[in-house]
Chains A and B, each alone.
Chain A
Amino acid sequence: MAVLTYIQAVNQALKEEMEKDEKVFVLGEDVGKRGGVFLATAGLYEQFGEERVMDTPLAESAIAGVGIGAAMYGMRPVAEMQFADFIMPAVNQIISEAARIRYRSNNDWNSPITIRAPYGGGVHGALYHSQSIEAIFANQPGLKVVMPSSPYDVKGLLKAAIRDDDPVLFLEHKKAYRLLKEEVPEEDYVLPIGKANTVRDGDDVTVITYGLCVHFAKQAAEKLEQEGINTEILDLRTVYPLDKEAIIKAASKTGKVLLVTEDNKEGSIIGEVAAIISENCMFDLDAPIRRLAGPDVPAMPYAPTLEKEFMMNPEKIEQAIRDLAEF
């Protein structure tokens, strides 16, 4: 098994799927000759040629629209938004077309497109390169939103997204790209979309989170273990639709739940998670459900001190877990 970074896992999954199925192709800004700004598509242009690795104009609406159309005609496009922040012009295509087409056509049509987009902050990216945009897409039945937390998950989930017969928004944390490394099997494997993953067992506090925050939560939990605080961590993996069964199980286990996101607090994914818990786990709760999130300000600031204040980190999570454990 080779040790891969998060971004290498993206690259490997794309390469393998393109080798396996010739209907798979990628399109996006600078994905071809340049290999993508983060090098997610590095080497693909050389291997598969310009017809399967398409550089597009600076027009997200077109990238999504072309991909959705091709998907409806039987292709398996993987469209890349250079930054998730730039997905806004494509929202109409994604929500009104891709997410609705199966329902609107009464199952006659479907659109198996995968849209990849790097999201998240902590990289001095400021307003246009730091946002978390998952909440915008998190009440659109017909669309799936997947946010992997590790290289292993990236490979298995991206393959599953490409093979899924319906549109999947695949959000990759850009800080994780080169920060996270782990052994990733060379063989072909997929992880189920719509299922959460217990990454750590504990009986004091349950942390439910996704994406890069899973990594932070693990760091916090390891530190707290030395203090005798055992943390259960549930990685949502898919933030829409949510794995209600796993959320209920994890929340009921300890009765003390910490929900973590890097996104702005109000209206975020974890608000929905909190609602599921309060609907189902009333008599298993031992403490108020606690949300740890970014502040409700428009975007992550550029100034390093303010960015740090906004950004999630292991210390904030550690303190929140300890507070709950002591409650």
Chain B
Amino acid sequence: MRLIFQKLLNGIAIGSVYALFALGYTIVFSILRVINFAHGAVFTVGTYLTYALTGAAFGRNGQLRNASLPLELNFWLALTLGALGAGVLGVIVERLAFRPLRRRGSDPLLTLVSSLGVAIAIVNILQYLFGAENYSFGETLGSMRASVTLAGGELPVVIRTKQIVIFVVSMVMVVALTLLVNRTRTGKGLRAVAEDLTTARLLGIDTDRLIRLSFFISGVLGGIAGALIGLAGSFNYQFGVAIGLKGLAVIVLGGLGDIPGAVVGGLVIGVAEAFVPAEYNAYKDAVPFVVLLVVLLVRPQGILGRAQVQKV
């Protein structure tokens, strides 16, 4: 029982980060109906930006050998600025990889490939500038204890403080995003564009602005997710690659373009991974996709997705 509770907590902690990352995918998909493959790279850049803003130095293998910024911001301030920087990068990605093709009315598949190209370019630039070293945030939580004991006894249930922080921040961001989309005028515009881009434009909505905004929000969420995962472990220039694939599984599982669906998908996959026995750990990365396959066989629209009605 103790072990089940411990694994459940572990799964929820990592699942909440998957959810936060996948929300970035979701918000762009709900507007443009395409996957932004550069999201993983934006996530990585957000992490590097946060790291740099804390005043930490880079390693010796990149072109910016031992470089550091002449300021040492508090982690939370650095996280905020780093996430905003990632949001700006998200807008640049939209400008480079999406808008030119959208203007020409190209097949959405092409934007998928162009975003993949931008992702590869960003990742290689990161390696060129900062090397392949691993980085971590160090003691960013100040005097807080490294772990919290939830149930005592000889074999207590223990959770890392960072995991609690990650869970809380992720949930705050999910609530904030939900409020933005459902309770604000901008959110109403986003929903209108998501419903039908052409009609929204005909109604006088500045769709380009809202698309840019969706990429900005996506980048901010990616930047926050990156820094939070980096906080729990370490990161390098390929940080976003593996989680990028998992994020795809999360949004399909939860229901494409569905915000609560991304949260549920993230938590389901996180918990499923946590319950993989250690002797089968090599297959842990396959778990999201096996879960996905099973769910799609039963509910092709995902857990919370709406079934598509074909109008003739």
Is B one of A's binding partners? no
Binding site for A on B (CB under 8 A): none
Binding site for B on A (CB under 8 A): none
